[in-house]
Amino acid sequence: MKMISRRDFMKASAVVGAAGVLTACGGSSSSTAASSTAASSVAASSAAASTGSANVGVCIYQFADNFMTLYRTDLEEYLKDMGYAVTIVDGKNDQNTQTEQINTFLQQGVDVLIINPVQTTSAQTIVDTISPSGTPIVFINREPDKAVLDSYAGKCCYVGADARQSGTYQGELILETSTQGDINGDGKITYIMCKGDPENIDAQYRTEYSIKALTDAGKEVECLYEYLDNWDQTTAQQDVANALAQYGDKIEVVFCNNDAMALGALQSIEQAGRKVGEDIYLVGVDALKEAVQNVVDGKMTGTVLNDDVGQATAAADATKLFVDGKDVEEYYWVDYVKVTTENASQYL
């Protein structure tokens, strides 16, 4: 019998939820091709007001990001199910490219912009570019400063997950192991950290809170090195290979700010002949399918579900509130979930 995974289940309920909202508002349920572009601003806005349909522009910082690929696929599906015309563009990890894309969307007169900024530090400039047009903004995944949201109050919001929670869960995953992270029994947990983009609050908080969970539990810790791996699998693979060559058995835990980097770390751990769960621990964040499979197979100590379904649903719902001219809150938060050997199969 085929089990329905939690992600699939959440996806199914999210779609039903979205359809429910649509029916309640009496909008059209026909979807439009992703490649379709927005019509002129005035026509588009008045059409949106009268029929509930709208043109939505989505700016993703980089299509080549594993997690953002899951997220944007969900988002496109939910927005189309709401009857909106959706155009999604790839910022190619370049803020100038994304800024041009935003300007193009503005010229086309989209009704709402969903923005996953390339550089969070550019969020204020993004708001200043968009605000004269009055176009609402839903920021996703990369949290801008509150002052940025405040500067366009009522017209912009942030949908995300509190990265402190994911970091804490990573630390707890290590505390829940049989040695509580101290494999060699020397009284301290010795680790390396593979970090995401340093500008990103998710990377900063995961780095800080994973270790805080250990020290809050009274553990002594020693950081051998923090590697700047920019969320990237290959970079982490190389850095962890070097770390294993340099520090050897001293490394008891490899913390990775995301699963892509944990997958790279695992390749190097296996190449070095080390065994997760026996002589080293490895944790990530996102619950990418491949990582969850590794947890099931005992090749990763654990991961943390970064709920793409929940966040995409919340972002689509916020978009709908803007289209319908309803009040929108400043923040929408979606919980992380700890993924261990006990519950991992639900997330495959």
Give ∠ CA 11-12-16 in degrees, rounded to 5: 115
* Position 299 contacts ligand BGC (CB under 6 A): no
Shortest approach of ligand BGC to residue 232 CB, angstroms?
Answer: 9
Q: Which of 154, 155, 123 minimizes the C-alpha distance to 137? A: 155
CA distance linking residue 104 with residue 174, whole number of Å: 47
CB 53 within 8 A of CB 85: yes
Q: Among residues 32 and 93, whose Cβ is nearest to ligand BGC?
A: 93
Q: Among residues 106 and 256, whose Cβ is nearest to ligand BGC?
A: 256
Tokens of 119: 């550089």
In DSSP notation, 181-242 reads T-TT-SSEEEEEEEE--TT-HHHHHHHHHHHHHHHHTT-EEEEEEEEE-TT-HHHHHHHHHH
* Position 286 contacts ligand BGC (CB under 6 A): yes
CA distance linking residue 348 with residue 296, whole number of Å: 9
Cα 283 versus chain centre, distance = 16
Site for ligand BGC in 25-84 (CB under 6 A): 65, 67-68
Q: Among residues 190 and 303, whose Cβ is nearest to ligand BGC?
A: 303
Q: Among residues 84 and 169, whose Cβ is nearest to ligand BGC?
A: 169
* Position 164 contacts ligand BGC (CB under 6 A): no
Cβ-based burial of 150 (10 A; exposed 0-12, middle 13-18, buried ≥19): exposed
Buried b (16+ CB within 10 A) or exposed e, 238-259: bbbbebbeeeeeebbbbbbbbb
Tokens of 290: 């491949």
* Position 308 contacts ligand BGC (CB under 6 A): no
* Position 122 contacts ligand BGC (CB under 6 A): no
Kindly tell me which residue out of 120, 141, 165, 190 binds ligand BGC, with binding defined by CB under 6 A: 141
Report the relative pairing of strands 303-305 and 337-339 from DSSP bridges.
antiparallel
Kindly determine how many residues on this chain lie close enough to bind ligand BGC according to the rule CB under 6 A.
Answer: 14
* Position 200 contacts ligand BGC (CB under 6 A): yes
* Position 142 contacts ligand BGC (CB under 6 A): yes
Q: Among residues 82 and 287, whose Cβ is nearest to ligand BGC?
A: 287
* Position 255 contacts ligand BGC (CB under 6 A): no
* Position 231 contacts ligand BGC (CB under 6 A): yes
* Position 98 contacts ligand BGC (CB under 6 A): no
CA distance linking residue 312 with residue 201, whole number of Å: 19
* Position 239 contacts ligand BGC (CB under 6 A): no
- Name, in order, each residue with C-beta under 8 angstroms of 319's C-beta and a sequence gap of 6 or more: 54, 56, 79, 82, 84, 112, 114, 138
What character string, x for contact with ligand BGC (CB under 6 A) and - otherwise, covers 201-230?
Answer: -x----------------------------
Let me know how many helices (H) and strands (E) the chain has, helices first. 12, 12
* Position 282 contacts ligand BGC (CB under 6 A): no
* Position 172 contacts ligand BGC (CB under 6 A): no
Kindly tell me which residue out of 75, 123, 285, 328 binds ligand BGC, with binding defined by CB under 6 A: 285
Site for ligand BGC in 178-197 (CB under 6 A): 196
Shortest approach of ligand BGC to residue 159 CB, angstroms?
Answer: 12
Contact residues toward ligand BGC (CB under 6 A) are 65, 67-68, 141-142, 196, 200, 202, 231, 258, 260, 285-286, 306
